[in-house]
Structure 1
Amino acid sequence: MAVEKYGVLKGFAIESRMERDDNTPHYQVHMIDEEDTHYRIAVNVMSSSEESEVLYLVDEQFSAPKTSDLLALPYGFTVLGHENKETAIDYIRDELFNPAEMNPLPHDVTGPDNDLNDMLDKYIQKAIQEKAAVYIFGSRFGPEKQKDKIFGFQPTNGMHNVHMNQGNEDKPGREKDWAEDNGTWHDGALFIQFENYWVAVFLAFLSQSWCTDDKGYPTEQCDHKSAGIIY
């Protein structure tokens, strides 16, 4: 099926919140666009599977044709579909980075700069200070009438699924079947446009396979370091 309401949000980060004790913790970002529309970005920092650590890769000098597409985007949310597929992201087919360079990182470790919350906060705080444009790929939720549960703005509105959205195994009977989110060209990511350089953040779950068919379903179970991945 692929995640619903897939697209990219372009705006500015104004505050953030780390979650460490929740059962499904997220790194939360409060963003606004040029029309002062408010958004909450919920970034998974822990998986609900047995392999709880999340894979990550940060490219602090990101350079790819994709940045030209991003620069051309209007502020706010842009739906991505067949008519503008070239702007969408696919971790396996896009060749934006080498998956073998991804590493797992826990969401909560005592001390500074040593867990996924700390890593994300480092770049978001710099983006806030420098008023850098932030681009969030994922799926949109809202707007809904109630106040946002984290930042209190109303109506609640934002982005989630800011990670790879394919390669999920179909396991009948579990409370949430993540295989429903499988799809090609529907992956999430985070990009920050600083004055003279771009930073890109890519996230995936250890339980996801990197060998998928044209609908994003796993053809076999292979990890991010698999020789089957061509880069």
Structure 2
Amino acid sequence: MPITNYSVLKGRPTAGKIVKGSGGTHYQISVTASGGPFTVAVNIVSSDGSEVLYDIDHTFVPPESTGLTALPAGMTRLQSQPGGLALDFVREQINGKPMITQAAMTLLPKPSIAAKGKKQPENLRAEALTNGVTMLIAQAIKDPNSTIYAFGSSYADSGKVDGIHDIHMNQGNPIGSFSNDNGIWQDGAIFLQIPTLNTNPSRTWVAVFIAFQTESWATDKSGNPL
């Protein structure tokens, strides 16, 4: 059973903060857009204890940049199929090359208990993802023309702020608590367009890709591991 309400949120990032809760630790991005405000919840620590894989691609060019920029601000439901805006880490190609590969991603070990006053190397690496996302959002907030595109599962939080989560790979999960989320053409990611990054329009994009080490990159037509 795939994730529910696969969507992309387009809007203006206005704030970011780390939030710890029962669902794990997330970097929470506040976004203004039609029908909002919204919240984007980005996993920076896995809730099931598996190691996080991530890549922040500063040379990224979206596979469908024209379709993305033409989207209205706000939440848009996506069809989980090729040929549109839906993402698939395993199957997506850009100019004949994979959009993202497992080899391009950095392993983020679970933080260890460090001696008082000292940080273990894995703790420093764990901070790298948080710091990288924090810096990107800070840059985007400073640029009045920046836009965030967050892909994942949208939700309506009755009486609170609606948002989107599952901003990560959503296939290849082994049998267990997350295997019901498996599906193809429904992966989550963040694309940021920040004009002040570069005067060249094709170099104003940055992508944030997140996956988990337990997820297989060889999947069948249902998104289950082969």
What CA deviation, in whole Å up to 9, does each residue of 1:23-46 have, x standing for no partner? 71001111111x362111111111
Of all paired residues, the percent bearing the same amino acid is 36
Matches within 5 A, 1:35-114: 35=34, 37-51=36-50, 53-81=51-79, 86-94=84-92, 95-106=98-109, 114=127
Instruction: Tell me what 2:172 maps to.
Output: 167
What CA deviation, in whole Å up to 9, does each residue of 1:176-219 have, x standing for no partner? x2011000000000001111310011100111111100010001
Matched, 1:178 2:178: yes
CA distance in 1, matches of 2:76, 2:45: 27
Contact 2:109/2:125 (8 A) holds in 1:
no
Q: CA deviation at 1:69?
A: 1.8
Instruction: Tell me what 1:206 maps to.
Output: 213
**What are structure 2's unaligned runs of at least 5 residues?**
93-97, 112-118, 196-200
**What are structure 1's unaligned runs of at least 5 residues?**
146-154, 172-176, 220-231
Instruction: Tell me what 1:124 maps to.
Output: 137
Instruction: Tell me what 1:12 maps to.
Output: 12
Q: CA deviation at 1:17?
A: 0.7
CA distance in 2, matches of 1:210, 1:182: 12
Contact 1:113/1:119 (8 A) holds in 2:
no
Q: 1:178 to 1:85 in 2, by over 3 A?
A: farther
CA distance in 1, matches of 2:179, 2:100: 24
SS of the aligned residue for 2:140 comes to: helix
Q: CA deviation at 1:114?
A: 3.9
Contact 1:192/1:198 (8 A) holds in 2:
yes
Q: 1:194 to 1:2 in 2, by over 3 A?
A: same
Contact 2:80/2:185 (8 A) holds in 1:
no
Q: 1:83 to 1:92 in 2, by over 3 A?
A: closer
Q: CA deviation at 1:112?
A: 10
RMSD between superposed Cα atoms in Å: 2.4
CA distance in 2, matches of 1:112, 1:20: 19
Per the normalisation by structure 1, the TM-score is: 0.80
Per the normalisation by structure 2, the TM-score is: 0.82
Could you tell which deviates more after superposition, 81-90 or 119-128?
81-90
Could you tell which deviates more after superposition, 111-120 or 132-141?
111-120
| Number of residue pairs aligned between Structure 1 and Structure 2 | 203
CA distance in 2, matches of 1:102, 1:40: 25
Q: 1:39 to 1:64 in 2, by over 3 A?
A: closer
